[in-house]
Amino acid sequence: MFEGELVDVICINQSSLSSQINTKLLISEKPIFICVISYTATSENPGITIAGANPNLIKYTSPADAEFLYYGHCKCINAVPITPDGKPTPAIITRTALQLSGIPFLVVDAGSKIKPLIPYISFNMESGENIRFGKAMDISNIKKAFEYGTLLGSQLAKVNDFVIIGESIPGGTTTALGVLSALGINAKFKVSSSMPENPHHLKNQIVSEGMQNANIHFGELRNDPFTAISVLGDPMMPAVAGIVNGIINYGGKVMLAGGTQMCSIIAILKSLKCPLNGLCIGTTSYVADDPSSDLVNLLKQLTNDVPIYTTDLHMMESSKLGLQAFAKGFVKEGVGAGGISIMAIVKSKGQIHGNILLRAIEEEYIKVLMEVM
């Protein structure tokens, strides 16, 4: 068994682990990656997300990401998952890490508006509404998603000793801000963004309007997380919270692979009094080191028992401007990119590290660009 330091993976919120990673928690023989795709009309508020080249395309973002994991190209839309100026979807990192490591994956559809052309696990949910108007989704759908998630999680945990859960939902940091606020967590100016100029004021305004329209005050729903989601959340949240619940109750280990959005999942689980043992967060250093958000502080308000692992993907060293963008505040994370990179590094016992990943990501990026040439 591997002991010692892993290149390019560090724990950033637990001092005893920070210099030398605690490999015990992350060691896994049979990990699996679950990508939960979803949609909230909150993403339609102008200026809220970089995902999707234009507003009409946002709904294709998450199914296109899911298709990219399987095929290396998109199917539901005849386009490459790259902004016109060359910034790729983080799914390019996820696909590369999955292929290098041989880690299997499944996609869960929890309310995406366009269905991906792949085999996917359906939770039979509607997409989420714009939380600005004070209503996101029905409570019955939330309960169903949590129940289905729990059922799925317990099946996954029977054969996989570690489950990495990522998400793709444009607008998801705004709904995270909403639910965290309803649950009494001070998240203003702390949630991350897919853009270097984090539109905090716009997010704060959308959440404020939503709370006003629903007649809800900060922290008022701290003991009623399902209502918090129904007012200010999105369909990804109860689905992911349920999957985590199913796994942890079975005694399994889970990594929430994502940025500040994943704190809303932990807040929901904590409010439901679900145990949090065996749980960690895994993300990119681009989220962790982001001066415009504060993942560590958000999590600290919730618990001291969930470690945050981050990985440096050396994107700044890439010769590709589109990949350098990750290190310059664009995209940063998504589709579980950071978490699955961490597991690829850990599972390989260090054979895979940031530089090897970067070279492989560059190759994948060139392949995608070739398609439009």
Q: Which residues sit at the interface with a copy of itself, rule CB under 8 A?
A: 30, 32, 70, 102-106, 108-109, 115, 117-124, 148-149, 151-152, 155-156, 158-160
Distance CA 47, CA 131 (A): 15
Minimum gap (Å) between residue 157 Cβ and a copy of itself: 8
What is residue 244's DSSP assignment?
A: H
Q: For a copy of itself, which is the closer residue by CB, 20 or 155?
A: 155
Minimum gap (Å) between residue 285 Cβ and a copy of itself: 28
Q: For a copy of itself, which is the closer residue by CB, 123 or 309?
A: 123
Minimum gap (Å) between residue 123 Cβ and a copy of itself: 6
Minimum gap (Å) between residue 152 Cβ and a copy of itself: 5
Question: Which residues have a Cβ under 8 Å from the Cβ of 264 and sit 6 or more positions away?
Answer: 175, 176, 179, 180, 233, 237
Minimum gap (Å) between residue 151 Cβ and a copy of itself: 6
Q: For a copy of itself, which is the closer residue by CB, 298 or 335?
A: 335
Q: For a copy of itself, which is the closer residue by CB, 28 or 194?
A: 28
Measured CA distances, 263 to 114, 187, 346 (Å): 26, 10, 23
Closest CA to 313 of 266, 352, 275: 352
Contact 284, 326 (CB under 8 A): yes
Q: For a copy of itself, which is the closer residue by CB, 242 or 338?
A: 242
Query: Locate tokens 């990949």: which residue?
Result: 323
Distance CA 247, CA 4 (A): 27
Please state the φ and ψ torsions of residue 222, each to the nearest 5 degrees: -60, -25
